[in-house]
Amino acid sequence: MKIAFDAKRFFHNTSGLGNYSRDLIRILSQYYPENEYLLLNKNSSERGKDILERHNVRFVETSKGSMARQLKMGKDAQKEGAQIFHGLSGELPLKWGKEPIKKIVTIHDLIFMRYPQYYSFFDRKIHLWKFKKAAVSADKIIAISEQTKRDIITYLKVPESKIEVIYQGCHKAFKEQQSEEVIQAVKEKFTLPERYILNVGTIEDRKNLLNIVRGIQETEIPLVVVGKKTKYYKKVEAFIRKNKMEKQVLFLEGVSMDELAVIYKLADIFVYPSFFEGFGIPVIEALFSKTVTITSNVSCLPEAGGKDSVYVDPGNYVDISAKIKFLWDNDSERKRRAEKSFEFVQKFNDEPIASELMKLYKKIL
């Protein structure tokens, strides 16, 4: 089987959609080596270089011209003899040739519809137009959670029969056991506290970091934060300064994936009270790291967290505070929940996800 992918995110996105694209190609090429995987884009990059070195993965440069991704990429895939084209980030090419080819699109979330205040009017209109076009053109749509499936049905008016839920996994670094030397080096490099709670993700309104900071005010619990800063960071920083919490909250930058895996493992608790997610990969990363997780009781987060994570109302910092303090003071409860959650998270392992994808590919041919 020859499968073509829109590889723009594979090569050019550092997190989110980039990680999804790279992990998907990595696990398919590993567990189903007999197929050929074509990565279509106008250029390649250093990202995913190790995957591109595999014998069954090949970069294909798209034809030159303006809007080549929309107007030429589909035809290029057909010229290469691909039987399936998979759009990995909610989009499919608009133009196709006469050769037969099946089309699949992955839709991660419709947050721009649920929370329009986070997006400009223009961005919302463009996103909706692209997603609707892809949903109509696709033979099958992959939703990365039951929550996203419900949103696709509601907002894009797609019949349920056209949608398959296939969860995504996480980077292999979170499943590896790092050596004592590596762990010690990370501790020293970032001057990590002996014990701490952790939050990972873009520092933006929706991710709700401020309510974690409010939740640890008047405690001595250290908080480590890893994530890209947006203008919302100023709001969090102002609260920290006003309440003299500068020594209690540590913001880390320039963290590699392998270092992040260690930071997760060393944390006592992972706290992720997001108001809405398409899936919530950081929760999966924490569970694979055997770190007990506190997350929101909304959107898809209970799907990702399982029954042994601890759930909070994200809008209620008193609730967040109470759950943090309860787990912080209770070593045996942390360990019990972490072990149970580690059993639960195996369903998001590479092999079962690759198997689901391959089943879908075969089904539509």
Question: pLDDT tens digit string along 200-243?
Answer: 999 999 999 999 999 999 999 999 999 999 999 999 999 999 99
pTM across the whole model: 0.90
Q: How much is the pLDDT for 60?
A: 97
DSSP label at residue 15: S
Distances (CA, A) of 353 to 10, 186, 261, 274, 309: 18, 31, 21, 25, 22
Which of 44-48, 282-286, 343-347 is least confident? 44-48
pLDDT score of 27 more than 80: yes
* Helical spans, DSSP H, in 280-349: 281-288, 301-305, 317-328, 331-344
As a whole number, mean pLDDT of residues 59-88 equals 96
Query: Are β-strands 140-143 and 102-107 bridged in parallel, bridged antiparallel, or unpaired?
Result: parallel
Helix, strand, coil share of the chain (percent; to 5): 50, 15, 35
Counting every residue written for the chain, the total comes to: 365
Q: How much is the pLDDT for 286?
A: 98
Per residue in 300-310, pLDDT tens?
999 999 999 99
For the chain, domains (ranges, CATH) are 2-169+349-364 (3.40.50.2000), 172-346 (3.40.50.2000)
pLDDT confidence tier of residue 331, bands split at 50, 70 and 90: very high
Strand partners for 184: none
Q: How much is the pLDDT for 15?
A: 75
Using left for φ > 0, alpha for ψ between -120 and 50, and beta otherwise, residue 128 falls in alpha
Q: How much is the pLDDT for 179?
A: 94
pLDDT score of 92 more than 90: yes
344, 308 in Cβ contact below 8 A?
yes
DSSP label at residue 63: P
Distances (CA, A) of 245 to 114, 163, 242, 259: 33, 47, 8, 25
As a whole number, mean pLDDT of residues 259-264 equals 98
pLDDT score of 169 more than 90: no
Which of 10-14, 56-60, 190-194, 348-352 is least confident? 10-14
Q: How much is the pLDDT for 115?
A: 87
* Helical spans, DSSP H, in the chain: 8-12, 16-31, 49-52, 68-71, 73-79, 111-114, 121-137, 146-156, 180-190, 209-216, 232-242, 257-266, 281-288, 301-305, 317-328, 331-344, 350-364
pLDDT over 70, % of the chain = 100
Q: How much is the pLDDT for 83?
A: 98
Distance CA 264, CA 242 (A): 28
Q: How much is the pLDDT for 206?
A: 92
As a whole number, mean pLDDT of residues 294-298 equals 96
